[in-house]
Amino acid sequence: MNDYPRRITLQEWDAHYVQLREAGMREPPYGGTLRRHVEEGDLRLRTLLFDNSSAALRLWNFLLTEEDRLREARTAGKKIVGTMKDLGTVPVMAYALPNVVAFYPDGAWWIPCVMELSEGLFGIADSLGIDEAFCPVRAMLGAFITEAHFPVPDLLICSAGATCDDFSAIAQRLNGLGYPIVWWEIPHRRIPDPDEERVELPGGFAAPASQVAFVREELERLRTVLEQFAGVPLNDGALSAGIARANEVRRLLAELRQLTFTAELCPLPALEMLIAEMLAIHFCSDQAETIEVLRELLREVRGRVEARQGVLEADAVRVFWVNPVADLQVMNLLEDCGGRICGTEYLFSHALDEIPENLPPMEALARMALADPMVGSAADRAARICADTRRFGAEAVLISRIPGASHCATEGIIIAEAVRSRLRIPVLEIEVPPLSDSIKPMLRTRLEALIETSKELRKTCCVPE
């Protein structure tokens, strides 16, 4: 039994949960109320608005119980690999192995927000010399030290090179603290010279064959590391099966994105869509369950679209959102101000594209890794954002900066200029810290202005040259 789709508070969820249970809602073992996560310290949930479907409840519960899953995996004798600064390649390889669970320590990024700074992770990072001049992902350092948010992995793999300077610095600090890391290198993707062999990559990019070969060799090295770690060979057959499973997740997500972003009425709030997208990059420590969670969500969304039901006003302004937001509450705020998300680029778009299945698996993974928006130029990223903005029919682009995050400082301007000149729609840049309460009125003004501007522009076609 689901009510008419809408966004509800935590308090409303308490009563709604009881109703759903009485109506026979079946839950997975990690099910339960959202309230219990608040009791465990996830204080931010008190201020958020959530989708009211049981599918969304399952999504949240799945996300917020990852730590339990990791600890259970360890107790069950499974090996844990932390795949850092890698959004979609090494997790695919790791999940192709039996008895291995991969997770994403970078996800600690959101802990200060979700726990409203009560966990003290930034303080620990500060004391290690990684202060607010760095990206909030520095919270990960604190999480390693306290061991309170995830078990320390048996193996750590981290990309370096063209991915992210902040992260490299933070991971090197971690390494220096005595956490061994297997590094692999990814070069800055460049346009092939005319005399170079050109390889097409997923997402519409291209790279010289020599770069693809280099990355493939790096991944081959990781294959050996993973084989030794798991004690079993990681052959092409297993890898291909792993790629097929990852693609299943990506296909589900692609359909969810297409339906949600293009529906006449918005069938799923921005926050739940953000979490669904996050699942695709690291599977929340259980790939099979990720597929089930996404399937249920997709069923819910399909049903809503067919029934022409939505969670927001019909005239909500269609906004394309760039970069993940440090404070989850701001996703709610955009909707409160009259916007809806129609398209996203959270810096891991390559983890949403399907991995080619018609190529040898290591070649396919190498191409996928090189399609990472972070390893290409900001202009490449902007081009994809413009193409997707057009595809989803967004009326405005919102670029959310992350304080201290090095990629934001320069890319935002390049993306904004590309959108202005190619699409001629409003662009807004905002900066969102992990807890944005004190600047909420300021953020609200900007978001409301974006909505007002976009609505006014619906009435006029006159945008100057």
Partner 1 sequence: MLCAGIDAGSRAIKVVLLNADERQVIASGCADQGVHHDSLAMRLFEEVLERAGCRREGVSRIVATGYARNAVNVADTTVTEITCHACGVHHLVPDAMTVVEIGGQDSKLLRLNRDGVVFDFAMNDRCAAGTGRFLEMVAARLEVELQALGMLAAKSQKPAAISSMCAVFAETEIIGLLASGVSREDIAAGVQASIAARVASMAGRNLNPPVVFTGGVAMIPGMTKALEAALGQPVSVAPSPQMTGALGAALIASRQMAQKGSR
Residue 424 interacting entry, from partner 1, ligand SF4, none, C-beta within 5 to 8 Å by type: partner 1
Among 171, 278, 416, 418, binds partner 1 (CB under 8 A): 416
How many whole angstroms separate alpha carbon 239 and alpha carbon 376?
26
Q: Rule CB under 6 A: is residue 158 a binding residue for ligand SF4?
A: no
Q: Rule CB under 8 A: is residue 463 a binding residue for partner 1?
A: yes
Min. distance of Cβ 100 from ligand SF4 in angstroms?
24
Residue with smaller CB distance to partner 1, 217 or 429: 429
Q: Rule CB under 6 A: is residue 377 a binding residue for ligand SF4?
A: no
Q: Rule CB under 6 A: is residue 137 a binding residue for ligand SF4?
A: yes
How many whole angstroms separate alpha carbon 260 and alpha carbon 290?
19
Residue with smaller CB distance to ligand SF4, 245 or 407: 407
Is residue 390 classed exposed, middle or buried when 0-12, 13-18 and 19+ CB atoms within 10 A define those classes?
A: middle
How many whole angstroms separate alpha carbon 183 and alpha carbon 219?
11
Q: Which stretch binds ligand SF4 (CB under 6 A): 1-9, 162-170, 248-256, 413-421?
A: 162-170
Q: Are 343 and 391 in contact (CB under 8 A)?
A: yes
Q: Where is 405: in which H helix or E strand?
A: none
Min. distance of Cβ 85 from ligand SF4 in angstroms?
7
The DSSP-derived string for 303-363 is HHHHTT--SS-TT-EEEEEES--SSTHHHHHHHHTTEEEEEEE-S-GGGTSPPPSSS-HHH
How many whole angstroms separate alpha carbon 89 and alpha carbon 365?
6
Find, among 103, 96, 153, 70, the residue nearest to 283 by Cα: 103
Min. distance of Cβ 325 from partner 1 in angstroms?
15
Residue 58 interacting entry, from partner 1, ligand SF4, none, C-beta within 5 to 8 Å by type: none
Q: Are 252 and 59 in contact (CB under 8 A)?
A: no
Q: What are phi and psi of 423, to 5 degrees?
A: -105, -20
Among 103, 110, 167, 184, binds ligand SF4 (CB under 6 A): 167
Residue 435 interacting entry, from ligand SF4, partner 1, none, C-beta within 5 to 8 Å by type: none
Q: Rule CB under 6 A: is residue 166 a binding residue for ligand SF4?
A: yes
Residue with smaller CB distance to ligand SF4, 108 or 366: 108
Q: Rule CB under 8 A: is residue 1 a binding residue for partner 1?
A: no
Q: Which stretch binds partner 1 (CB under 8 A): 67-75, 146-154, 262-270, 447-455?
A: 447-455
Residue with smaller CB distance to partner 1, 37 or 381: 381
Among 407, 411, 412, 433, binds ligand SF4 (CB under 6 A): 407
Q: Where is 101: in which H helix or E strand?
A: strand 100-103
- Which tokens is 464 given? 């100057």
Q: Are 83 and 102 in contact (CB under 8 A)?
A: yes
Q: Are 130 and 173 in contact (CB under 8 A)?
A: yes
What residue type is assigned to position 300 of the chain?
A: E
**Which residues are bridge partners to 400 per DSSP?**
430
Min. distance of Cβ 269 from partner 1 in angstroms?
23
Q: Rule CB under 8 A: is residue 336 a binding residue for partner 1?
A: no
Min. distance of Cβ 86 from ligand SF4 in angstroms?
11
Q: Where is 138: in which H helix or E strand?
A: none
Min. distance of Cβ 299 from ligand SF4 in angstroms?
32
What residue type is assigned to position 125 of the chain?
A: A
Q: Rule CB under 6 A: is residue 164 a binding residue for ligand SF4?
A: yes
Contacting residues toward partner 1, per CB under 8 A: 413, 416-417, 420, 424, 426-431, 439, 441-442, 445-446, 448-449, 452-453, 456-457, 459-460, 462-464
Contacting residues toward ligand SF4, per CB under 6 A: 135, 137, 164, 166-167, 347, 374, 402, 405-407
